[in-house]
Structure 1
Amino acid sequence: MSRSNPLSEGEIFEILANGRRRETLRHLTETRDGAVTLSSLAIAIATAESGQSPPPSPVRESVWSSLHQTHLPKLDELGIVRYDSDSGTVTLCDQAREIDNHMAIFAWNGLSWSELYRGLGIGSLLAVLAVLLEVPFVGSADPILVVSVSLAMFAATAIAQLWPNRLDMLRALRGS
């Protein structure tokens, strides 16, 4: 199904409220061409849920059934995936990009962007305080240098977070 209007915030949160839908989107995003079979998707999600490879048959069947009956039809209805129940194929649609911002996870140890920024802020504050309080080993550093390095780390992090979105925007503008 093709949908031209943007997803509402409520729809996005409803999608992300379910772990199997999140895993479906994550798996499709990580797939080279954004298309998988229902069976391979069910195995991937069941493996993630059970922590066993191959996953136990009851878990795999439960995942397959809930994807087929509930989650994929819902995602298809919203235009996020194209689910062909006859062939058992699932393909990621362009509408899924709207959800990327809400699922944005920094790929290093599963740390979210907000956690990373929070850590940078606390680390920067502690570093500046350590210099101002002349804590051994760091007290001799120039406070301006410490603040400059902290700001540079914030800038680099912001660029790393925003750069992929800018590339998507440029591609969309060129395609228009």
Structure 2
Amino acid sequence: MSSRTDATGELAESDVFHILGNDRRREIVSLLAAANGPIDVSDVARRVASREHDDSDTVPNNLYKSVYVSLQQTHLPQLEAERIIVYDSDAKTIQQGAQFDHVCEYIDGATDGNRLFRHATGVIATIGIALSGASGFGLAVTAVIPPAHWAVMSLLAIALWSLSWTRLRERLDPNLAR
């Protein structure tokens, strides 16, 4: 895969999606994000094999070896080529590379659009809670409508916001509708 970067020097979104489209590479990035520094490739292989085996206590040795070889020959070199990790082949460790934080945004769902969606949803929910509370305490205009009705209207507002956001995203990127 040829690395493309945008004007900021970050990996192109399509390249990030290609990289994260593989479970093992996604797991490597997630494990490294949770670590406080370099981690041993053998530990990464053990954790990936454990997740694939669905049993952390008994990972067959042949599965561990298969994962380890796959990481060494395919996934780690690709992540290093894209500057997502720094791989020390002598120490057999990996650590975060220059593109690591950018790629993590996609794992966490923290792209700008998702961040806006979560923020706006939080604002709508907060307003709904405030109106329900104010109604419950009998404050001013809000007391005319019972608190339960404010809560239902807030949930409806969040549902409508979610639906309109989804439709807007699908219009902007037809591939999302598939």
TM-score normalised by L of structure 1: 0.59
Change (3 A) 1:150 1:29: farther
* 8 Å CA contact retained: 2:39, 2:93: yes
Tell me by how many angstroms 1:146 deviates: 5.0
Change (3 A) 1:54 1:94: farther
RMSD of the alignment, in Å?
A: 3.6
CA–CA separation in structure 1 for the residues paired with 2:17 and 2:99 = 15
User: Which of structure 1's runs of 4+ aligned residues deviate more than 6 A?
Assistant: 149-152
Q: Which residue number in structure 1 is paired with residue 36 of structure 2?
A: 32
1:55-110 CA-to-partner distances (Å, cap 9, x unmatched) read 1111111110010001000000110000112221111124111112211169xxxx
Specify every segment of 5 or more residues in structure 2 that has no aligned partner in the other structure, as ranges.
Answer: 129-144, 159-178
* 8 Å CA contact retained: 1:68, 1:85: no
CA–CA separation in structure 1 for the residues paired with 2:154 and 2:54 = 44
TM-score normalised by L of structure 2: 0.59
Change (3 A) 1:101 1:36: same
CA–CA separation in structure 1 for the residues paired with 2:109 and 2:13 = 18
Give secondary structure in 1 for the equivalent of 2:71. helix
Quick one: which of 36, 47, 50 aligns to 2:50? 47
State the AA in 2 paired with 1:141.
Answer: P
Identity score, percent: 29
* 8 Å CA contact retained: 1:28, 1:92: yes
Larger Rg: 2
Alignment size in residue pairs: 126
Structure 2 counterparts to residues 56-71 of structure 1, below 5 A: 56-71=60-75
Quick one: which of 141, 146, 154 aligns to 2:147? 141
1:98 aligns with 2:108: no
